[in-house]
Amino acid sequence: MRQLNSYNISNYVPILSEKKKIGWIHKSRSKLIRQKNESSSNIHFKQILDYSRKLKSLKRPEFCPVFNYDSLNPKFQFHPKEKFCDGKLFQIERNNLSSFGFPAYGVHCNVWSKYKNSTIIHFARRSKQLKSFPSFFDNPIAGGQPCGISIIDNLYKEAREEAGLSVSDLRYAKKSKTVHYIHNYKKKLNSSILFIYHLEKKDDLQFINQDGEVEKFISVEINKIYEILEKKILKPNSIIPILDFFILKESDFIPKKVMLEIKKITKTYD
């Protein structure tokens, strides 16, 4: 499993918009885009757009925005209730973002609850039919941020599709941090930004998957989370909202021994 925030761009060519390096493409793939005798120092984003139109599309493609910001230092500030595409340079199919090192945005909502003297973290077990991370543990609510809707509306959409939750069920969800991380994977550069939310699960809240991407929902006591990390069955970026929750609540009800174990494991979570 790859490290979440470890990357090397020495074998990548920048994709330019004016003087900004809005993306990165591996040198071995850049040859498919260049014209003969063309300089190898960089590629203009319009060449990427021309090339991406030739790629095989999904049956139901989801389009995401690319902003006029450096990929390694992406646009970070957004109003959660405003349309996410405003100010975009262009849009591209979501499944092509990492191929060109364009920043990918998404929402992740960690769900927790109190049971007697224990704190419970709730997970979704991903379907074994999924191409990426089949059967891994994931946050119950998570998904990429497409064009056309706000961050908060995307949170509502993902909550409905993945967990069968209504807008009313999300009324207690609290926005936390926005986190950026970067890693290389299979000649791709993943520059990803997560909008993190936390939701306390009430007794009457029931999870029911609607889109077939979740096999089942699992509840784990907080002092057992390190066992999931040791087995490396947690989808890598899902650890970020969990750690954010630990940091927020550490002084409240997380045993110091558990925190020490988790910090030790996450240092080698690769």
Torsion of Cα atoms, 227 then 258 then 215 then 116, to 10°: 130
Tell me if 126 sits within 8 A of 134, measured CB to CB: yes
Using DSSP, state whether 183 is helix, strand or coil: strand
Q: pLDDT tens, position by position, for the chain (270 residues)? A: 345 677 899 999 999 999 899 999 999 888 778 654 455 678 999 999 988 887 766 677 899 999 999 999 999 999 999 999 899 999 999 989 999 999 999 999 999 998 888 889 999 999 999 988 999 999 999 999 999 999 999 999 999 999 999 999 999 999 999 999 999 988 999 999 999 999 999 888 999 999 999 999 999 998 888 888 889 899 989 989 988 888 777 655 556 666 666 566 555 444
Tell me if 62 sits within 8 A of 97, measured CB to CB: no
| DSSP state letter for 201 | P
Cα separation values, 168 from 164, 171, 201, 205, Å: 12, 5, 12, 11
C-beta pairs of 257-261 under 8 Å, 24+ apart in sequence = 258/222, 258/223, 258/225, 258/226, 261/226
262 phi/psi in degrees, rounded to 5: -65, -45
Using DSSP, state whether 82 is helix, strand or coil: coil
Q: What is the pTM of this model?
A: 0.88
Q: What sections of 95-169 are H helices per DSSP?
A: 151-163
Residue 174 sits at the vertex; the CA angle it makes with 88 and 2, to the nearest 5 degrees, is 65
Alpha carbons 103 and 119: distance in angstroms, whole number: 34
